[in-house]
């Protein structure tokens, strides 16, 4: 009985350590999405912040446009005193969806938004905010655009 309890205790301890330490997986390349309290600073709405750095989204959409126009509109945007706005990456767009749209923050519409991530010369990744699905779409489709900037 003591041996069984010792083995059970060891298994329980190992399970706790895996859960506590994340099983050894690195999350350095993952965009944080939990426990976000959106606030308006750094020229927009905070999407996420970690150690004083993070990402903000513009406070409103720039409209619906083709992908090339979307990139240009974001790159040339001057808003709230900042000129380093850009189209979000596929991963950043998903964080915008998770941390803002799903919480009812930011006035996003339940339709497609462009990311800056290209699939190939003719396609780029977008995200359908109604369902959260990401897929690649023809660059000549007109989808919503929301600029982001790092801080």
Q: Are 99 and 47 in contact (CB under 8 A)?
A: yes
Percent of the chain with pLDDT over 90: 71
Total-model pTM: 0.75
The string of pLDDT tens digits covering residues 7-54 is: 434 433 343 333 333 333 333 344 554 455 556 778 999 999 999 899
Write the class of the CATH domain 34-150: alpha beta
pLDDT digits 0-9 by tens, 122-135:
999 999 999 999 99
Burial of 149 (C-beta count, 10 Å sphere; 0-12/13-18/19+): buried
């Amino acid at each position: 009985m003591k041996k069984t309890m010792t083995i059970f205790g060891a298994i329980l301890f190992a399970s706790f350590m895996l859960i506590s330490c994340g099983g050894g997986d690195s999350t350095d390349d993952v965009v944080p999405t939990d426990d976000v309290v959106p606030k308006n600073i750094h020229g927009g709405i905070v999407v996420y912040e970690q150690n004083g750095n993070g990402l903000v989204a513009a406070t409103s959409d720039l409209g619906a446009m083709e992908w090339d126009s979307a990139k240009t509109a974001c790159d040339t945007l001057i808003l709230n005193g900042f000129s380093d706005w850009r189209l979000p990456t596929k991963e950043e767009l998903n964080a915008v969806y998770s941390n803002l749209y799903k919480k009812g923050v930011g006035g996003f519409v339940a339709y497609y938004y462009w990311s800056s991530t290209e699939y190939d010369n003719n396609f780029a990744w977008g995200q359908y905010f109604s369902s959260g699905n990401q897929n690649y779409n023809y660059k000549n489709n007109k989808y919503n655009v929301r600029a982001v900037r790092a801080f």
